[in-house]
Amino acid sequence: MRFSHSFSCSAMGALILGCLLLQASNSNAQLRPDFYFRTCRQVFDIIGNVIVDELSSDPRIAASLLRLHFHDCFVNGCDASILLDNSTSFRTEKDAAPNANSARGFDVIDRMKDEIELACPRTVSCADILTIASQISVLLSGGPWWPVPLGRRDSLRAFFDLANTALPSPFFTLDQLKKSFADVGLNRPSDLVALSGGHTFGRAQCQFVTPRLYNFNGTNRPDPSLNPTYRDQLRRLCPQNGNGTVLVNFDPVTPDGFDQQYYTNLRQGKGLIQSDQELFSTPRADTIPLVEQYSNNRFVFFQAFAEAMIRMGNLKPLTGTQGEIRQNCRVVNSRIRSVENEDHGVVSSI
């Protein structure tokens, strides 16, 4: 199977989204969907073909790439800071609690970058690669297409401390979730509810589920919002004092497909982590009607998700001469030049 961006755009775009999302994509004037039209037109096909190939052996990778983009954008904007390894100047975000031994797909991004550098050297940013990869991952899993605004540049540092505080916790209440989203500029209820729908595929570790099963909020009892049958199923997968790294499907019905089943699960008390179930089980919450609406209408969910993804992708982008276009997504260019100078016996002033 080969990925064809032209087919995906014409078929899915015309069917699902149309002019509304094209207008939304222009909300940041410096980003535009045709940014690489003249300089690297094949970027979508390169990224898409890598994902198709990776999916053949790793059905989790689509959800993992979407999560990488989310975790990148919530920490000082969509600037690929999450991809940077440790440096003498900063600590990597990969070591932050929400990412350590959890965030994955970095090697897949490396593969995309290597192939893009061969085709279009020093042209496509790692931030844009992450953004495109998340969109194609959703599309290949059965979700919507949307016009991806492009033209981001890459940060010159990582933000370890901010990664520990800015990312929403799986144990958050609804009020805490709303604040976390509003703090980065996503202040509409539809932003929170639609982007949470990214948990319609992928996995979570038992360590993020077991408090709900055995000792919810220190009560020594399970979360009362949990469907009893589902609770018993989860207890078999995640026994008390068991292996916290065991993986559990976010969606037990269609675990690798991007659809609206996530919201149906919430209505049945089958949200995997607390922060998901809060969207429906918090009394009189303004998120409840959205959960019901998205559960009943895939088209409405897809449109809301695409709009929210565009809004999230527009968070504090580096553009113009800000930042850089990294040659290697794991290191800033000055480190590459420093090593090259050392290899040639040149003392670098960088």
Q: Where in the sequence numbering do the catalytic residues fall?
A: 71
Does the annotation place 39 within a ligand binding site?
A: no
Tokens of 240: 């008390």
Q: Which of 196, 200, 192, 194 is nearest to 141 (CA)?
A: 200
Tokens of 321: 């001469």
Q: Which of 27, 20, 21, 47 is nearest to 36 (CA)?
A: 47
Euclidean distance between CA atoms 285 and 198, whole angstroms: 20
Does the annotation place 170 within a ligand binding site?
A: no
Does the annotation place 173 within a ligand binding site?
A: no
- Using CB atoms within 10 A of its CB, is residue 265 exposed (0-12), middle (13-18) or buried (19+)? buried
Q: How many CB atoms lie within 10 A of CB 96?
A: 24
Euclidean distance between CA atoms 321 and 127, whole angstroms: 15
Does the annotation place 239 within a ligand binding site?
A: no
Q: Is the dihedral of CA 271, 163, 131, 140 positive or negative?
A: negative
Alpha helices (runs of H) in 168-246, residue ranges in sequence order: 174-183, 189-196, 210-214, 228-237
Does the annotation place 211 within a ligand binding site?
A: no
Does the annotation place 200 within a ligand binding site?
A: yes
CA distances from 251 to 4, 27, 94, 199 (A): 28, 33, 26, 7
CA distances from 318 to 2, 43, 76, 80, 221 (A): 32, 20, 10, 10, 47
Does the annotation place 251 within a ligand binding site?
A: yes
Does the annotation place 232 within a ligand binding site?
A: no
Does the annotation place 286 within a ligand binding site?
A: no
Does the annotation place 259 within a ligand binding site?
A: yes
Euclidean distance between CA atoms 60 and 265, whole angstroms: 20
**From the annotation, which residues make up the binding site for Ca(2+)?**
72, 75, 77, 79, 81, 93, 200, 251, 254, 259
Q: From the annotation, which residues make up the binding site for heme b?
A: 199
Q: Which residues are annotated as a binding site for substrate?
A: 168
Q: Which residues are annotated as a binding site?
A: 72, 75, 77, 79, 81, 93, 168, 199-200, 251, 254, 259
